[in-house]
Amino acid sequence: MKITKINVAAKAVKLKEPITIALGTIEHSMSAIVEIETDEGVIGYGEGSPGILITGETLKGTTECIQLFEKQLIGVDPLDIEKVHHIMNSIAAHAPSAKTAIDIACYDLLGKKSGLPVYKLLGGFSNSVKTDLTIGIDTPEIMAQKAKQAVLQGFDTLKIKVGTGFSQDISRIEAIRRAVGNDIKLRLDANQGWKPKEAVNMIQHIADYGIELVEQPVAYHDIDGLAYVTKNVSVPIMSDESCFNSKDALRLIRAHAVDYVNIKLMKCGGIHEALKINSICEAAGVECMIGCMVEETNIGVTAAAHLAAGTKNITRADLDATFGLTEVAIPGGVGLEPISIIELTNQAGLGLSK
């Protein structure tokens, strides 16, 4: 099988409603949708969702980077994924979302060529993933109302965005816990919103609210601060922005900086690198969560779901991006309806087709 053409199209989809995190407000899904055509007539689908607040990339830049990749990937076997990444790395130093678009499409082709769903190729541990639902930053009353609605929809785990101030965050957590009762798991995500000592103080105050974990409490570059928080609180700490790739994962493990690691395909460059992150963490006894960018479509979320289902060490999932979309990029895969258990089909590849 050889790559004959790579089509890329920028796509913006308005979210059902904006979502606010400590870093800013997001109103649209922004993705570069990729189709890799082959000499066997098989097409692989992928996407690169840049998420400028996290990766610093833009949709225009991601699209142009993919076009640069195409020039060197024509004639290459897309099933030679190690070689594909070597070529992309020789062209662009970082550009994780652009690399993810190509990577996902290659894994889709690998599945279609073998006649197997991608989760089978990645280990086949399970064919389903349980996801949480994210509650964006708002007033305590509105957040509590949305949390209660999520529980009524069947979610027993909620991811609560915080990080804008001590009293405001405390009020949000209190209101949500009152609204949903004590049986619902609450995960907090500060998106780098606290200083290390502030984070310790905050987490000690809210520990009695039954918090499952706190994600990225401090600035992404402050590994010492992250380790300080982890050492001084009883609630487990998870990295997100501090871990883009396998080298970051190794650095966090060596520093004993976290209890969990959040893997996102758009941060690390795709499934190929995500597997390395997961292996490093698993060897160190650190479980992983699979996450997604708010801006992703069903293509990226479906690929992430296959990765999580196929591997044992990815024990948690935050794959709710499609639930806020008004349309899918390509039919198939994870849908728009909020549902806590994502069931994967046995269709070859990612189960996406026009």
| 312 given a catalytic annotation | no
H/E/C letters for each residue in the chain? CCEEEEEEEEEEEEEEEEEEECCEEEEEEEEEEEEEEECCCCEEEEEECCHHHHHCCCHHHHHHHHHHHHHHHCCCCCCCHHHHHHHHHHHCCCCHHHHHHHHHHHHHHHHHHHCCEHHHHCCCCCCEEECCEEECCCCHHHHHHHHHHHHHCCCCEEEEECCCCHHHHHHHHHHHHHHHCCCCEEEEECCCCCCHHHHHHHHHHHHHHCEEEEECCCCCCCHHHHHHHHHHCCCCEEECCCCCCHHHHHHHHHCCCCCEEEECHHHHCCHHHHHHHHHHHHHCCCEEEECCCCCCCHHHHHHHHHHHHHCCCEEEECCCHHHHCCCCCCCECCCCCCCCEEECCCCCECCECC
| 240 given a catalytic annotation | yes
CA angle 47, 324, 95 (to 5 degrees): 30
| 189 given a catalytic annotation | yes
Active-site position among 215, 241, 248, 318: 215
| 264 given a catalytic annotation | yes
Active-site position among 37, 240, 273, 295: 240
Active-site position among 264, 267, 295, 296: 264
Active-site position among 11, 112, 146, 161: 161
| 215 given a catalytic annotation | yes
Active-site position among 57, 103, 108, 189: 189
Positions marked catalytic: 161, 189, 215, 240, 264
